[in-house]
Amino acid sequence: MAVTVTMPQLGETVTEGVVLRWAKQVGDTVSEDEVLLEISTDKVDTEIPSPSSGVLQEILVQEGETVAVGAQLAIIGEADGAGAASDSEPESRVQSAAPEMAEQDSSTEPPAPEAPAAAPTPQPVAAAEAAPAATGGGGFTVEMPQLGETVTEGVVLSWAKSVGDAVAEDEVLLEISTDKVDTEIPSPAAGVLQEILVPVGETAQVGTALAIIGSAAGAPAQVVADPVSSGADNVPMTDGATQASPAADANGQSGSLEGSGRGNVSPVVRKLAREANVDLDRVPGTGKNGRITRKDVEAFIASGGQSPAPAAAAPAQPPASPTTPEPTPSSAAPPPPPPPVPAPAATTAPAAASTAPAGEPAPAGQPAPAGDGVEPPEGVPLLAGDRVVALDRLRQRIAKNMILAKTTAAHVWTAVEVDYELVEQIRQKHKADFKAREGFSLTYLPFVARAVVDALAAFPVVNSSIYPDQGKAVYHEARNIGIAIDLNQEGLLVGTVRNADSLRIVGLARNIRAVADRARSGSLEPDDVSGSTFSISNPGPYGSFLTAPIINVPNTAILSTDTVTKRAVVATDTAGNDSIAIRHIGYLGLTWDHRAFDGSTAVLFLQRIKHNLETWDWEQELA
């Protein structure tokens, strides 16, 4: 009697998961409670045991695909059908199928929201059958992956291998540049690079065949028979980043971990370890069966190479904050935390100490690049001493996207003045303990983000995307906040804090800090720069007064948080008496798309944020 394996409920709020790998292939014998496959959710990566003994007759969900709780994963038949199942396996299953480039870090990162590529994931058969099929002219087609929700194409920057070169599974094969990130694409299988279909500098649409990998003559086909994962190593490199040596991967990490739970290390984790010169044998794994996750490596690096205590693998939330999981747009968002209650009315609050240090040095910019050997722009006259420089890819993408946004959205700007005195008092009270506990300063930004999330729920049209040429608008259930991140005056990226409505002040601060650190270290993944539903630009720390940022299309609005400074204002007490008081005052500017909504909505949305910042009892968020 056949037994159907279904997707289990792996947590109270988990509704779906991504199949990371199958430990068994069709025709293999499996014992009860033996590991059958591995699933990744927004909470954990976990191995799923077989519910019964028998033969794996059919795999219903391929590696890299997302499946809902309760969906059928596989069918296990009785053991006496093993021979027939194995013999009937067609050789065509190892012919030119296109492996998927899944976007998630299979260790701890959330699964990507994109649907799988159109071509099916290859299902390798036993090693004895794979060898003749591969050497008989078949191969694996490497396709242009979907590297973000809105990404439709990419430019081939470089090929790490040439035709005829041997390539190992998960070894870097090429580098792709999109309007979001520059990303290394690993090989989906071991073999020989038989053909390069898209040369350097050409643009390829998502799903386009990039190359063909065939089996190496005499190479053991077992490498293809038991793949660990077909996921793509989607960690982008910044301009000028050094490409890691394939030999370092083979000799330094993965080879030393074979045969244990720690051996199933994702390409992203291996790459992070290579770049930091970390020996994975020294890293304590907190995943299933001691598996090493990305957070394990990051904690090891942060500790200076000292093995952290198991309890320190992930910082604990304060009691007042809900659990702050790594969010994903495809998962069901946890219930939003209740907004803080209004603070009790008070007379003029005492002014906090000045945040502007005496004798602060004058701002400094980046020196102009040399520009040696660059031809001047066509038809542009040069002045004496002019230098012509080549724009890097990031600056070219920024230029293209800014013009596209300005010509797409009907930009309008509105601003309000905000009294931050209550927020400032809470910051001053908690800043020392917060920095000691978290390792970074408590700024105004997480307070603003918290107030924004509440306002987006009250004004859902601001959390929408509009497509007037199709006569449609999309109202987003998720509240994913895009944070504009400055890259040391060398560019700008918008990092995404997903499911921000499930986070309180501490969770928002941690997530904002984490995505900013990944952006500045060049370790962003496609999920980090896609999927935002509303954006915040934060020029305030640089001393701005009022800013009108450009909308991050397809968002319909972007908020600017400008400098908070002490000003003399009229303060009214509970008895209605007016007095002059020194308070912390700042401005919030909203650039909004007039195609999506009108001025009344924009002003009321800002007033909601202002009201939240000025009246909520922020103490309960940090107590």
Which residues are the active-site residues? Answer: 594, 598
**Residue for token pair 């959205």:** 409
Which uninterrupted H or E stretch holds 456? Answer: helix 445-458
- Residues in a beta bridge with 413: 591
CA distances from 28 to 1, 4, 39 (A): 17, 16, 19
Element (H, E) at 159: strand 153-159
Tell me which residue of 226, 291, 299 sits closest to 257, measured CA to CA.
291
Cα 407 from Cα 401, distance rounded (Å): 10
The order of strands in the sheet holding 140-143 is 140-143, 209-214, 191-196, 166-167
With b meaning 16 or more CB within 10 Å and e meaning fewer, what string describes 356-388?
eeeeeeeeeeeeeeeeeeeeeeeeeeeeeeeee
Alpha-carbon distance 522 to 272, whole Å?
11
Compute the distance between CA of residue 535 and CA of residue 551 in angstroms, rounded to an integer: 8
Contact indicator for 388, 558 with CB cutoff of 8 Å: no
Copy the structure tokens of residue 548: 């009108």
Query: Which residue type is seen at 177?
Result: S
Rounded to whole angstroms, how far apart are CA atoms 184 and 35?
31
Q: What is the dihedral of CA 226, 229, 233, 234, to 10 degrees?
A: 150
The residues pairing with 214 across neighbouring beta strands, listed in sequence order, are 192
| DSSP secondary structure letter of residue 250 | I
The answer to whether the CB of 274 falls within 8 A of the CB of 249 is yes
Q: How many helices and strands (H and E) does the chain possess?
A: 12, 25
* 620 to 321, 426, 435: CA distances (angstroms): 9, 10, 18
Cα end-to-end span (Å), the chain: 58
CA distance 398 to 291: 39
User: How far from the centroid of its chain's Cα atoms is residue 18's Cα?
Assistant: 16
The answer to whether 220 and 196 are in contact (CB under 8 A) is no
Residues 527 and 71: their CA atoms lie apart, in Å, by 25
Residue with tokens 């067609």: 90
Q: Please provide the DSSP assignment of 30-56 as one string.
A: E-TTSEEEEEE-SS-EEEEE-SS-EEE
**Of the candidates 506, 180, 481, which has an alpha carbon nearest to the alpha carbon of residue 329?**
481
Biggest CA-to-CA distance, the chain: 91
Dihedral Cα 422, 424, 426, 428, nearest 10 deg: -150
Q: Are 76 and 51 in contact (CB under 8 A)?
A: yes
Smallest CA-to-CA distance from 162 within 208, 213, 204 is with: 213
**Among candidate residues 80, 14, 77, 87, the one with its CA nearest the CA of residue 46:** 14
Helix axes 445-458, 599-615, angle to 10 degrees: 130
